[in-house]
Chains A and B, each alone.
Chain A
Amino acid sequence: MVPRTLRRGTPRTGVDWFLTFLRVSALTVVALGLLAFIAQEIDSDNPFARWANPDATGLTGEQFWGLVVSGVSQGAMYGLIALGYSMVYGVLGFINFAHGEVFMVGAMTGMITSNKLADAGMWESNFIGSLVLIVVVSVIVCSLTAVIMERVAYRPLRGQPRLIPLITSIGVSFFIQNASIVLLGPAAKAYPDVPDWVKTKHTFLQIEGSRILVILVAAASMICLWYVVERTKSGRAMRAVAEDSEIAALMGIDVNRTIVKVFALGGAMAGMAGILWGILFRSVIHSTGFLPGIKAFSAAVVGGIGHLGGAMTGGLTIGVAESVGPLVILEPLGVSGVSQLRDAVAFAVLIGVLLLRPSGIFGERLPAEDRT
């Protein structure tokens, strides 16, 4: 007979019962909301839908499509940031909490550069060219930021208990945010105006140009990253260090350099995401990095931390869930003012995934010492 403790899924203690209750009720809420939404979409006078929320208006097909598209484009951005979390976690086994601030630095750099370009007149005359330019600048600045961060704050702590670098990274995040306040001022800062084709909805699938741009750029960077990690020599070194850094060192891989490269690559992706944020929202403030950072971490966990494809999938999941979830699940259940609960939904997805499947969609890839 299998000992009781080894049988999975059978509740043992009060906590287990409570967790089972939480899992079931979370699934029930989601299912009820979805059912009510579907019922309402089929027939707006459906008694079930009326019972759940008498004032629900439902969504038109166009609205729903809009929500999905905005979710996908934001999710692509989260995915890009999540890559940084995921790669660092894969190699060093700790959460670089300050990674969201690297993203903010990217958005800020983009703001400064694009405003300078707009002053010089290049922004209007050659939009694509200046876009490439600000991406290059921001990628370089963000990689540098991430590398300096690693050198100053994380390298001296290598081998310490896992929570020590995590607390340090909270300090780094706090420091960068407030450095941005004291150096650049506490007010929100705007990107220069973009050409019309970026702002307006295109006949093609009814998507704004900016969102197409974001999805395309995210896909392109993802492919580049995939190529670097899977097809180049340093990518192989990264995977080897992630697999087992000691053995990798014995095989003649310079572990420190590889870790620096991982940070640089993650920083570059965050810089790219920062520019995408700038194009989507055209405004940036010192706290810009906080929420997207946390959501991107959630995305990395949802996809399975340490897994590149997982980070992107998780990003899209979180993006779509937070944009569609409030209106599709909460609104039909009679929750009012649902758009305020976007962020709460994103966190709820994280908590839900950790409750239901802690290793994420694709399963996690952890450094050797964390695999138990």
Chain B
Amino acid sequence: MTDTASPLVPGEAKALLAPPRPALSHDWRRIVRIGSIAALGQAFIALSNMPVRLDERLIVKPVLSLGYLVLLFLPLAVGYRQGHQTVREGVPVFRPGLNEVVGGFSCGLIAGGGLAVLAVLLANFDLREPLVNWSPILLDLLAFGNQAWFAAVIWLAIGAGMGTVGGVLRLLGPTSRRAVVTMAIAVAGAAVLESLVVDLAEGMGLEALTDRLYDRRGGVNWNSALGLAGVCGILAVAGRGRLRQARSRHAELQGAKRTQANAGLMALAAATLIVLPLFAGKLTNELLANVGLFVLLALGLNVVVGLAGILDLGYVAFFAVGSYSTAVLTAATSPRIAPEMPWLVALIVVVIITGLAGLFIGAPVIRMRGDYLAIVTLGFGEIIRLLFLSDWLSGWFGGSQGITMIPAADIFGLTEVSGTDPRRVFYLVLVFCALAIYVSWRLERSRMGRAWMAVREDETVAEAMGINTVNVKLLAFVVGAVLGSFSGAIFAAKVGSVFPASFLILVSIVILVVVIFGGMGNIVGVIAGAAVLIGVLGGPKQPGLLIEFSEFKLLIYGALLIWMMLARPEGLMPSVRRTRELHQQEMAQDAWLRGEVDDDGGGNRPAGPPVATQS
């Protein structure tokens, strides 16, 4: 198990430890480069109005607001980053020492310099014309109410301080570093989840606890922040490596035992999700319902992008078709035909319609090269919206007025699900999510799923193996479309009205970010991605827990997409197979370095990478 414990970090071999470098022996050009990038980033963050907007959201009661936190993060990150040493086979790694601290200090100083220069500029020039946030308010925030020179000095100091902290983090051993990170995450998490926790605690009658933890005006109390950090730190040190051990034990399980363990975990998750909304208030349930809708969409897109490898940028089209056909079939106010079907009956028709739409859109594009396909599906997504919006079809779909007064979804006459009671919406979404999870889980392990993955990995080879690539890909497209239509149908019943403006291309991109962030092709990853991103930042139009972020969330989604692709294209919770595809070369190299080369195979064919035993 020693080798398979960390299959995701290729090249992590036991390195030779060399004595620390002298404190001032740096590649100063690199330090200046990293520092200046951070300085520019700091100025950008400041000018984006993030600090001012987020200043009201307190993290730790008197000392730290989210606004200042976004300005502190970058110097800390570069301070830590500059001490990074690439581990190469046979090349010694220097033991961290004073060198890292000095490097962190310098990086942080330069990064802080960005804000210092900005503050001086803010005081002396007026660039309000193009830059809308160039204002005295920003200067005031940067200078803590004092003069510009004070801002310059204090931000140089803060930058240097945070950079040094980042450098010092390098000195810590793995255990203490984990403890520090856990403490930070615990406090930040408690602050971010504030409204959720308070709401749940109220439902369960635990107000006493949250009153202690949170200040009345928001934010974690100073004392309880310390307490929370302490407890979590102790837990992290005590539970050192337990989590990883448990995970690798779970990965080692075979056959029936593994199925049992999975079933147990799933039952636990399901029970939590069923019980949780009972204690939650309306807003939390609304949030949960929104997250659920996006989980459903992301699961659908995951079949298309994650399993079959078809980059569909017009996925919103199926969401739109699902919503609109539900609206036409159930609403009495639908302009042309209004059969006023019950929601469940309509759903069957909707599934057929969206399936046909999937075929219709899929058939022309399926033969195209992957990147052409992406743009053409994007075009289709936009065409569908333009058609719903146009006067030409307004007799059917109401044009820009949309279709309103869609009745609540009637479930076998038992309950009525509509937006007024988000808890029911959430339960409905949960049922469909369970269905979607089951379908994609079974499909992934079926003959069809293996065909999809073969097509994703190499279409030519797949075809040579006798797979009818066109039909297989088309089926993925249709399955994705149908899963998306579920979400659309629930959305229509929940919101009670559909407008073309709800189906912008933006929605496609956000779902794509969710799928990629979580880990393409991995169901758990996709769900986690949706929960974290949509839950915390919010969807295209839906607010998340950090409501203050709603202005910036799309910016963050964009940055996140770039960063994920550069740093971790397989996502946060990758599927094993996908990782192997993306890091094939590195893994082959590692295997070669370890001397696991298959000598009979002509020398350059490496033995299968160690992960092969894991799935």
User: B-contacting residues of A (Cβ < 8 Å)?
Assistant: 13, 15, 18-19, 22, 94-95, 97, 112, 115-116, 152-153, 156-157, 160-168, 170-179, 181-185, 290, 294, 297-298, 301, 335-338, 340-341, 343-344, 347-348, 350-351, 354-355, 358
User: A-contacting residues of B (Cβ < 8 Å)?
Assistant: 44, 47-50, 129-133, 309, 311, 313, 363-364, 366-368, 370-372, 374-376, 378-380, 382-383, 386-387, 389-392, 394, 468, 470-471, 474, 505, 509, 512-513, 516, 551-552, 554-555, 557-562, 564-566, 569, 582
Once the chains are docked, how many angstroms separate the CA of A171 from the CA of B313? 12
Do A347 and B371 form a contact, CB below 8 Å, given A174-B554, A174-B558? Answer: no
Instruction: Give the residue of B363, B371, B386, B555 whose beta carbon is less than 8 angstroms from that of A166.
Output: B371
Judge whether A175 and B555 touch: CB under 8 Å. yes
Instruction: Give the residue of A15, A152, A340 whose beta carbon is less than 8 angstroms from that of B363.
Output: A15
Instruction: Give the residue of B133, B309, B566, B582 whose beta carbon is less than 8 angstroms from that of A168.
Output: B566
Not counting A171-B560, A182-B49, A350-B376, a sample of 11 additional A-B residue pairs whose C-beta atoms are within 8 angstroms of each other reads A15-B474, A153-B565, A164-B565, A174-B509, A174-B561, A182-B552, A183-B133, A294-B378, A301-B372, A344-B390, A354-B364
Judge whether A294 and B565 touch: CB under 8 Å. no
Once the chains are docked, how many angstroms separate the CA of A157 from the CA of B557? 19
Once the chains are docked, how many angstroms separate the CA of A165 from the CA of B48? 27
* B residues less than 8 Å from A112 (CB atoms): 129-130
Once the chains are docked, how many angstroms separate the CA of A188 from the CA of B387? 25
Judge whether B562 and A183 touch: CB under 8 Å. no
Q: In the complex, which residue of chain A has the Cβ closest to the Cβ of B386?
A: A344
Judge whether B387 and A344 touch: CB under 8 Å. yes
Once the chains are docked, how many angstroms separate the CA of A350 from the CA of B368? 12
Do A184 and B379 form a contact, CB below 8 Å, given A94-B371, A340-B391? Answer: no
Once the chains are docked, how many angstroms separate the CA of A173 from the CA of B364? 26
Q: In the complex, which residue of chain A has the Cβ closest to the Cβ of B395?
A: A336
Judge whether A355 and B364 touch: CB under 8 Å. yes
Judge whether A335 and B555 touch: CB under 8 Å. no
Judge whether B565 and A167 touch: CB under 8 Å. yes
**Nearest CB of chain A from residue B366's CB, rounded to whole Å:** 7
* A residues less than 8 Å from B309 (CB atoms): 163
Instruction: Give the residue of B363, B387, B468, B561 whose beta carbon is less than 8 angstroms from that of A170.
Output: B561
Judge whether B558 and A341 touch: CB under 8 Å. no
* B residues less than 8 Å from A94 (CB atoms): 371
Do A163 and B392 form a contact, CB below 8 Å, given A174-B561, A183-B131? Answer: no
* B residues less than 8 Å from A358 (CB atoms): 368, 372
Judge whether B559 and A171 touch: CB under 8 Å. yes
Do A351 and B379 form a contact, CB below 8 Å, given A15-B471, A167-B561, A182-B48? Answer: yes
Judge whether B557 and A167 touch: CB under 8 Å. no
Judge whether A343 and B47 touch: CB under 8 Å. no
Judge whether B551 and A182 touch: CB under 8 Å. yes
Q: In the complex, which residue of chain B has the Cβ closest to the Cβ of A111?
A: B130
Judge whether B375 and A294 touch: CB under 8 Å. yes
Once the chains are docked, how many angstroms separate the CA of A227 from the CA of B562? 35
Q: In the complex, which residue of chain A has the Cβ closest to the Cβ of B551?
A: A182
Once the chains are docked, how many angstroms separate the CA of A162 from the CA of B48? 33
**Consensus secondary structure, chain B interface:** helix
Judge whether B371 and A171 touch: CB under 8 Å. no
Once the chains are docked, how many angstroms separate the CA of A335 from the CA of B390? 10
* A residues less than 8 Å from B555 (CB atoms): 175, 178-179, 181-182
Once the chains are docked, how many angstroms separate the CA of A116 from the CA of B130? 10
Judge whether A184 and B382 touch: CB under 8 Å. no
Judge whether A156 and B561 touch: CB under 8 Å. no
Once the chains are docked, how many angstroms separate the CA of A40 from the CA of B129? 52
Do A179 and B48 form a contact, CB below 8 Å, given A15-B366, A344-B383? Answer: yes
**Consensus secondary structure, chain A interface:** helix
* A residues less than 8 Å from B364 (CB atoms): 19, 22, 351, 354-355
Judge whether B371 and A337 touch: CB under 8 Å. no
Once the chains are docked, how many angstroms separate the CA of A115 from the CA of B130? 9
Judge whether B558 and A171 touch: CB under 8 Å. yes
* A residues less than 8 Å from B50 (CB atoms): 182
* A residues less than 8 Å from B509 (CB atoms): 170, 174
* A residues less than 8 Å from B394 (CB atoms): 337
Once the chains are docked, how many angstroms separate the CA of A116 from the CA of B127? 11
Judge whether A183 and B132 touch: CB under 8 Å. yes
**Nearest CB of chain B from residue A33's CB, rounded to whole Å:** 14
- Interface-central residue, A156, A165, A344, by most chain B CB under 10 Å: A344
Once the chains are docked, how many angstroms separate the CA of A351 from the CA of B370? 14
Judge whether A13 and B48 touch: CB under 8 Å. no
Judge whether A347 and B382 touch: CB under 8 Å. yes
Judge whether B554 and A178 touch: CB under 8 Å. yes
**Nearest CB of chain B from residue A258's CB, rounded to whole Å:** 22
Judge whether A171 and B565 touch: CB under 8 Å. yes
**Nearest CB of chain A from residue B37's CB, rounded to whole Å:** 9
* A residues less than 8 Å from B47 (CB atoms): 182-183
* B residues less than 8 Å from A335 (CB atoms): 392
Once the chains are docked, how many angstroms separate the CA of A156 from the CA of B564? 12
The 5 lowest CB-CB distance pairs between A and B, nearest first, are: A337-B391, A171-B561, A175-B558, A174-B558, A347-B379
Subset of 7 A-B contacts with CB under 8 Å = A95-B375, A171-B560, A175-B562, A183-B47, A340-B391, A351-B364, A354-B364
Judge whether A350 and B366 touch: CB under 8 Å. no
Do A166 and B374 form a contact, CB below 8 Å, given A174-B554, A182-B551, A183-B48? Answer: yes
**Nearest CB of chain A from residue B438's CB, rounded to whole Å:** 28
Judge whether B561 and A341 touch: CB under 8 Å. no
Once the chains are docked, how many angstroms separate the CA of A179 from the CA of B562? 14
Q: In the complex, which residue of chain A has the Cβ closest to the Cβ of B37?
A: A152
Judge whether A184 and B132 touch: CB under 8 Å. yes
* A residues less than 8 Å from B387 (CB atoms): 344
Do A341 and B390 form a contact, CB below 8 Å, given A163-B311, A166-B311, A171-B559? Answer: yes
Judge whether B558 and A348 touch: CB under 8 Å. no
Once the chains are docked, how many angstroms separate the CA of A301 from the CA of B369? 12
Q: In the complex, which residue of chain A has the Cβ closest to the Cβ of B381?
A: A347
* B residues less than 8 Å from A152 (CB atoms): 562
**Nearest CB of chain A from residue B553's CB, rounded to whole Å:** 9
* A residues less than 8 Å from B559 (CB atoms): 171, 175
Do A167 and B378 form a contact, CB below 8 Å, given A94-B371, A156-B566, A178-B555? Answer: no
Judge whether B551 and A340 touch: CB under 8 Å. no
Judge whether A153 and B566 touch: CB under 8 Å. yes
Judge whether B392 and A336 touch: CB under 8 Å. yes
Once the chains are docked, how many angstroms separate the CA of A184 from the CA of B133? 8
Do A354 and B558 form a contact, CB below 8 Å, given A167-B512, A182-B552, A183-B132? Answer: no
